[in-house]
Structure 1
Amino acid sequence: MTVKPVEPFDVPLIIDGKETPATSGHNMNIINPATGAVIGTLAAAGEADVNHAVEAARRAFESGVWSGLSVHERARILNRFADLFEASIEDFYRLETLNNGRPVTETRAQIARLPQFYRYFAALALTRRSDVIPVEGPYLVYTQRVPLGVCALMTSFNHPLMILSKSLAPALATGNTVVIKPSEQTPITTLLLVRLLKQAGVPDGVVNLINGEGREAGAALARHPDIAKIVFTGGTEVGRQIGAAAAQNFAVTTLELGGKGAVIVFDDIDMDRAINGAAFAAFIGAGQTCVCGARILVQRSIYERFLERFRGKVQSIRTGDPADPKTQLGPVISARSRDRILGMLDRARNDGAKLLAGGKAAPGDGFFIEATAFYDVDPDSEIGQDEVFGPVTVIMPFDDEADALRIANGTQFGLAASVWTNDVARAHRVASKLTFGMVWVNDHHRLDPASPWGGFKQSGVGRETGIESFDQFSEPRAVTVNTSGVTHDWYDDSGQPKRLN
């Protein structure tokens, strides 16, 4: 079996275990964002391909070839896959860096943890217990968790494998079948992952791969009547459209959408920790992450000192070839993204934001932007409110806890924030008042398969990872058993009181 793609990359569809071109014959170019060069093509699925993939997934689900396996057998296959994943990890590092432009040091650190996600959910499937519910009368009531059916997993370009694994692992562990729609910009490592799942023993039709544009393949998948659950990571407006399409078929949704993360720095924290933490939050992944530290709020008493130190930190970040271990900042994903971000930077200057560092495209053939920081930014301005999705952060002063919370919570988004302080009571107090789904204290951007991931407000609905995600890939069935050994005649004429419910 061919597992590893060969350059130039040819990324087909995978439907019912078979690799196939799109029925339309239409292909799209795959671009290396570090050079702008075409590195391969992908088959762009149309509605007919989507229907074929969903039908294959539905047949596989209804046949019981996966959902009917014992939980122990599913867990064995997932653990076998995790072993294969680890054995191929060097290929994944290289290909993801090539395809989405993240520095290899970042890619290596992130992907190395992903086999753990499959092992965690395999273990959870073996150990998650159902409930016995105490009820009145001679009845035993217990619950069973029932897989939903066909799940659509739509991932984004910024963390292709991590975002997929957060949902693919619990979807498979709970017995569902899936149709995966990766970003058309970064499909290569997803192809490799699906091939490895087949090699591990996942039956044909259980995992299907659809490539292509969101407005065609993604939209057809979102509105398909046989889809029981949709998981989508991406922008808020597209997420709203997917949610509306899913609602027509009463499909369950998990939507991880936009963010405008707040990094709140109090004056009692060590300055080195604050500078290093804020820079990591702002610029990891070239800022192309929904939990990016896009707003750095600094207590006024240390504001000027923070600005001076942070300027030096930002200016020291090295842009370059993502395959070079010395590179610290890669490109953004496309020329379109680069131009959109540079337009936002121009408007920020016109709105009165002061440039601390960066602010322009970086040298090179690819889609590079300098690490950029503005200060004295109006919290209500475009750059203070809207998601940039690039290596850009803004720094704003605050006076006290109430002021910090006012600024931090003053956004339509509610995905992630961090609090930096040595005061334990303050850390818990502020965290409890932040309207964000995830809050880190003296850290940022930490993820574990056991911890729920998701946001409030316009940042989406539902949760990925954790027990919460595991349970959201199934429905509870309540089973009520009459243990009395008696069935009363409701229609007798005795006149004795009877219980209806």
Structure 2
Amino acid sequence: MDTTNANHLDAQLFIDSEWSDAEEGRTLDILNPATGEVIGTLAAASAADVDRAVQAAHRAFEGGAWRDMPIQQRARVLNRFADLFEADLEQFYRLETLNNGRPISETRAQISRLPQFYRYFAALALTRRSDVIPIEGPYLCYTQRVPLGVVALMTSFNHPLMILSKSLAPALATGNSVVIKASEQTPLTTVRLVRLLHEAGVPRGVVSVVNGEGREAGAALAQHPLIRKVVFTGGTEVGRSIGEAAARNFAMTTLELGGKGAVILFDDFDIERAVNGAAFAAFIGAGQTCVCGARILVQRSMYAAFLDRFRAKAAGIRVGDPADAKTQLGPVISDRSRQRILAMLDRAKQAGAKILTGGGVPQGLASGFFLEPTVIYDAHPHSEIGQEEVFGPVTVVMPFEDEADAIRIANDTQFGLAASIWTQDVARAHRVAGKLEFGMVWVNDHHRLDPASPWGGFKNSGVGRETGIESFDQFSEPRAVTINTTGKTVDWYADDGELKRLN
């Protein structure tokens, strides 16, 4: 797929290692959010297509070509894939920018790290040890990790390759078969990635792709009886329905859902660093990330000075063509998303909140789905804009009085995905981190990810973890093996008067 010369890009289904259209021939348009123009066609899978993909993945798993492949060989395939991925990065940068509108500077910074994820989990497959468990009596007890079977990976539009790689790497490293359902809005880099997996030597049927709408293809995948685990990134309500569907088949789930991240700025921290850090937290990815710094909590003593400098910082962000290396903020994913965000801003103003900067469509960018980076203040913490996920380049600045007040405001939300603390006081950093009800807390930074670090949240931000040893282990189940080492078999029914052990 040569993105430099292609005028129209197709995203077909990939089932049993064959590319095909949907059985019913249904398609969806793929748009460039920077222009609103159609750039490709998506094959929209039906429930029947999903069943074909899952059945093929199940046959591949039962056949054992990947599941039973020696770990050393499986790791070599993943490392070979990582090399192919790395050699093709330039095409991935351009294709993801074209498809989801993130500035090319962001896609370069993010995607360039992803081959490392596959190498990390290949290495973990080689080095992860099972347990020998001390139990009572003359027995040797140890565990084996057993791959689950067919797992479903359902990704969102905002970070297509990163979100996929966080779970695809450990799922494959542990020997599972995988059915991928990418966002219907951003399928193009997933299609390209799967081509490279096939080229690297992943056996037939082990990886399948079913494109299409969540309400049909996604729902059919989540409730399929042969799916043993569902990984989903997206909104909380959709995640809840997926969790319920999977639970009916006793399938495991990892759900990375909504967020209302808090950026806590204490007054001992340099204000310029605070402004720069808050801007990065709030506006990277056009705010379309669950760990977005959506609430910036500023200690009262520096609140006025922060507002003044933060206004200038946000207003100076360059919005424009994401393919231009100078662009710092791209569009949101769709016109529907933009209209939803603008409606939230209108309701916030009606409720008494004030716009510090932004709040509308940038001048000269009528085509595409652009929004100005927007900063709100004087919003009540319990208002819609203070509590609900916006998923756009919008952040709310709120004052706090002291440490206890900052913790109270930060935790006062249904979400618990990510927060950051900005302070020069080491003791305070540890103290506050220990009291925040979030699955991830950064100190003097934000939005940092590593394949070795577990990623996930508390409360309505989901369940389970991506990346890290935690994710690796959650793509397998433990089998306990207990061996009688005496060389004898007790005759339970002998009337010999000996005290016998039942269990």
TM-score normalised over the length of structure 1: 0.99
Give yes or no for the alignment of 1:382 onto 2:384: yes
Q: Distance in 2 between matches of 1:314 and 1:349?
A: 19
Q: Distance in 1 between matches of 2:90 and 2:7?
A: 16
Give yes or no for the alignment of 1:432 onto 2:434: yes
Give yes or no for the alignment of 1:423 onto 2:430: no
Could you say if the C-alpha distance between residues 370 and 289 of structure 1 is closer, same or farther in structure 2, counting changes exceeding 3 Å? same
Which residue number in structure 1 is paired with residue 336 of structure 2?
Answer: 336
C-alpha contact 1:3 1:196 (8 A) present in aligned 2:
no
Work out the number of aligned pairs and report it: 500
Q: Distance in 1 between matches of 2:314 and 2:472?
A: 39
Residue type of the partner of 1:461?
Answer: V
Which residue number in structure 1 is paired with residue 117 of structure 2?
Answer: 117
Give yes or no for the alignment of 1:241 onto 2:241: yes
Which residue number in structure 1 is paired with residue 403 of structure 2?
Answer: 401
Q: Distance in 1 between matches of 2:439 and 2:117?
A: 20
Residue type of the partner of 2:196?
Answer: L
Q: 1:88-237 to 2 correspondence within 5 Å?
A: 88-237=88-237
Residues 10-66 of structure 1 deviation map (CA, whole Å, 9 limit, x = unaligned): 110000100000001000000000000000101000011000000000000000010
Q: Distance in 2 between matches of 1:137 and 1:206?
A: 42
Which residue number in structure 1 is paired with residue 17 of structure 2?
Answer: 17
Residues 164-212 of structure 1 deviation map (CA, whole Å, 9 limit, x = unaligned): 0000000000000000000000000000000000000001100000000
TM-score normalised over the length of structure 2: 0.99
Q: Distance in 1 between matches of 2:439 and 2:361?
A: 33
Q: Distance in 1 between matches of 2:84 and 2:195?
A: 11
Which residue number in structure 2 is paired with residue 307 of structure 1?
Answer: 307
Q: Distance in 2 between matches of 1:354 and 1:3?
A: 47
Could you say if the C-alpha distance between residues 328 and 390 of structure 1 is closer, same or farther in structure 2, counting changes exceeding 3 Å? same
Q: Distance in 1 between matches of 2:487 and 2:219?
A: 53
C-alpha contact 2:152 2:231 (8 A) present in aligned 1:
yes
Which residue number in structure 2 is paired with residue 444 of structure 1?
Answer: 446
Which residue number in structure 1 is paired with residue 87 of structure 2?
Answer: 87
- Note the C-alpha offset of 1:3: 7.9
Q: Distance in 2 between matches of 1:326 and 1:113?
A: 21
C-alpha contact 1:342 1:361 (8 A) present in aligned 2:
no
Q: 1:446-461 to 2 correspondence within 5 Å?
A: 446-461=448-463
Residues 115-146 of structure 1 deviation map (CA, whole Å, 9 limit, x = unaligned): 00000000000000000000111100000000
SS in 2 for 1:190: helix
Q: Distance in 2 between matches of 1:333 and 1:494?
A: 78
SS in 1 for 2:434: helix
- Note the C-alpha offset of 1:354: 1.2
Residue type of the partner of 2:94?
Answer: R
SS in 1 for 2:399: strand
SS in 2 for 1:378: coil
- Note the C-alpha offset of 1:7: 3.1
SS in 2 for 1:433: coil
Q: Distance in 1 between matches of 2:362 and 2:304?
A: 27
Q: Distance in 2 between matches of 1:210 and 1:323?
A: 28
4+ residue segments displaced more than 6 Å? 2-5
Residue type of the partner of 1:77?
Answer: V
C-alpha contact 2:439 2:455 (8 A) present in aligned 1:
yes
Which residue number in structure 1 is paired with residue 7 of structure 2?
Answer: 7
- Choose the corresponding residue for 1:481, options 469, 483, 495: 483
Q: 1:43-54 to 2 correspondence within 5 Å?
A: 43-54=43-54
- Note the C-alpha offset of 1:98: 0.2
Q: Distance in 2 between matches of 1:56 and 1:18?
A: 11
Residue type of the partner of 1:18?
Answer: E
C-alpha contact 2:262 2:295 (8 A) present in aligned 1:
yes
Q: Distance in 2 between matches of 1:446 and 1:312?
A: 25
Residues 448-482 of structure 1 deviation map (CA, whole Å, 9 limit, x = unaligned): 00000000000000000000000000000000011
Residue type of the partner of 1:491?
Answer: Y
Give yes or no for the alignment of 1:288 onto 2:288: yes
- Choose the corresponding residue for 2:370, options 351, 368, 371: 368
Give yes or no for the alignment of 1:254 onto 2:254: yes
Which residue number in structure 1 is paired with residue 275 of structure 2?
Answer: 275
Q: Distance in 1 between matches of 2:6 and 2:349?
A: 45
Q: Distance in 2 between matches of 1:107 and 1:309?
A: 28
Q: Distance in 2 between matches of 1:315 and 1:213?
A: 36
Which residue number in structure 2 is paired with residue 491 of structure 1?
Answer: 493
Which residue number in structure 2 is paired with residue 26 of structure 1?
Answer: 26
- Note the C-alpha offset of 1:6: 3.7
Percent of aligned pairs with the same amino acid: 76
SS in 2 for 1:28: strand
Residue type of the partner of 1:464?
Answer: E
Q: 1:320-335 to 2 correspondence within 5 Å?
A: 320-335=320-335
- Choose the corresponding residue for 1:410, options 412, 416, 419: 412
SS in 2 for 1:34: coil
The runs of 5 or more residues in structure 1 that have no matched partner are none
Q: Distance in 2 between matches of 1:64 and 1:416?
A: 39
- Note the C-alpha offset of 1:495: 1.9
- Note the C-alpha offset of 1:361: 1.4
SS in 2 for 1:323: coil
C-alpha contact 2:2 2:91 (8 A) present in aligned 1:
no
Residue type of the partner of 1:119?
Answer: R
Q: Distance in 1 between matches of 2:182 and 2:167?
A: 13
Residue type of the partner of 2:274?
Answer: A
Residue type of the partner of 1:74?
Answer: R
Q: Distance in 1 between matches of 2:262 and 2:70?
A: 45
Q: Distance in 2 between matches of 1:290 and 1:116?
A: 23
C-alpha contact 1:3 1:195 (8 A) present in aligned 2:
no
Residues 248-272 of structure 1 deviation map (CA, whole Å, 9 limit, x = unaligned): 0000000000000000000000111
Which residue number in structure 1 is paired with residue 77 of structure 2?
Answer: 77
